[in-house]
C-alpha cells in the first residue's frame, strides 16, 4: 500500500466514523474507532517514510507485536473455552439429576461451584436453593472433592455466605445429633438464607461449646 492509497483509506474511515456517530448503536461500536486509529497510524508511517515507500504489514513492528501477543494468548483462550464447555456439560448433568430428583445422590466434584453459578445464570440470577443445599451438605459432610482439606477450603471460598453458613451450621448440628436426618435439619437452610451472619455465629457458638472446641 502506497501513501496515497493509505490516505484514501483514511478518508473513507473518517467518513464512516462521521456517519456512524449519527446512530447510537453504531456510535457505541468499538470496531469503528479502532479501525480509524489504525488507518491514522499507517498513514503517519508512510507520511514520515521516504517517498515511494510501500506499507508492508509483515514488516510492521506494531502488527508483528500484536500477532505475537495473540499467539501467546491463544493457549489461555483455548483453556477458557474448554473450561466453559466443561461447566456447561456438568450443568446439563446436574440439571438432569435435579429433574430426576436424584441430585442428593450425586458426588460433588471440583469446579461444581462454578457450575452452580452457571445454573443460576441460566435462570436469570434466581438462587438455586436445591443446588445450594446440596453443596452445603457436601461441604459439611466432606463429600466428593470436599474430602480434601485444601479443596474444601477452596470450595468454601467460592461459595456465597449463605451456603458457607449453612454448611457450618449443618456440620455442628450433626456433631450434636449424629442420627439427625436431612428432613430434621431443613430449617438450617432457611436460617442461613435469611440470616447468614446469625447462622454463622450460631455455628461458631456450637463449636466453642463442644469439648475441645
Cβ proximity of 168 and 200 under 8 Å: yes
Q: What does the domain layout of the chain look like in residue ranges?
A: 1-55
* C-alpha grid cell, residue 20: 456512524
Closest CA to 192 of 107, 135, 148, 152: 135
Q: Would you state the torsion angle of the CA atoms of residues 184, 186, 188, 193, taken in this order, to the nearest 10 degrees?
A: -170
Cβ proximity of 79 and 67 under 8 Å: no
Cβ proximity of 156 and 189 under 8 Å: no
Average pLDDT over residues 167-178: 89
* C-alpha grid cell, residue 5: 492509497
- Beta-carbon contacts of 70 under 8 Å, excluding residues fewer than 6 positions away, are none
C-alpha–C-alpha distance, residues 24 and 9, integer Å: 24
Q: For 62-73, what is each residue's pLDDT tens digit? A: 889 989 999 999
Q: pTM for this structure? A: 0.67
Cβ proximity of 7 and 43 under 8 Å: yes
Of the pLDDT bands very low, low, confident and very high (cuts 50, 70, 90), residue 213 is low
End-to-end CA distance of the chain: 77
Q: For 96-118, what is each residue's pLDDT tens digit? A: 999 999 998 999 999 999 999 99
Q: What share of the chain is helix, strand, coil (3-state, %, to 5)?
A: 75, 0, 25
Amino acid at each position: 500500500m502506497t501513501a496515497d492509497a493509505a490516505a484514501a483509506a483514511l478518508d473513507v474511515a473518517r467518513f464512516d466514523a462521521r456517519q456512524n456517530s449519527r446512530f447510537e448503536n453504531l456510535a457505541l461500536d468499538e470496531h469503528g474507532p479502532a479501525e480509524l486509529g489504525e488507518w491514522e497510524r499507517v498513514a503517519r508511517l508512510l507520511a514520515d517514510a521516504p517517498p515511494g515507500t510501500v506499507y508492508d504489514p509483515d514488516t510492521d513492528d506494531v502488527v508483528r507485536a500484536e500477532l505475537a501477543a495473540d499467539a501467546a494468548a491463544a493457549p489461555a483462550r483455548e483453556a477458557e473455552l474448554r473450561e466453559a464447555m466443561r461447566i456447561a456439560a456438568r450443568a446439563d448433568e446436574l440439571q438432569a439429576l435435579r429433574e430426576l430428583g436424584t441430585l442428593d445422590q450425586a458426588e460433588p466434584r471440583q469446579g461444581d461451584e462454578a457450575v452452580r453459578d452457571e445454573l443460576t445464570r441460566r435462570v436469570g440470577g434466581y438462587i438455586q436453593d436445591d443446588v445450594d443445599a446440596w453443596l452445603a451438605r457436601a461441604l459439611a459432610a466432606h463429600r466428593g472433592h470436599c474430602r480434601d482439606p485444601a479443596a474444601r477450603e477452596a470450595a468454601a471460598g467460592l461459595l456465597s455466605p449463605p451456603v458457607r453458613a449453612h454448611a457450618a451450621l449443618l456440620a455442628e448440628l450433626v456433631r450434636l445429633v449424629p442420627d439427625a436426618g436431612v428432613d430434621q435439619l431443613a430449617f438450617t437452610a432457611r436460617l442461613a438464607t435469611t440470616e447468614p451472619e446469625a447462622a454463622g455465629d450460631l455455628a461458631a457458638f456450637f463449636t466453642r461449646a463442644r469439648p475441645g472446641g
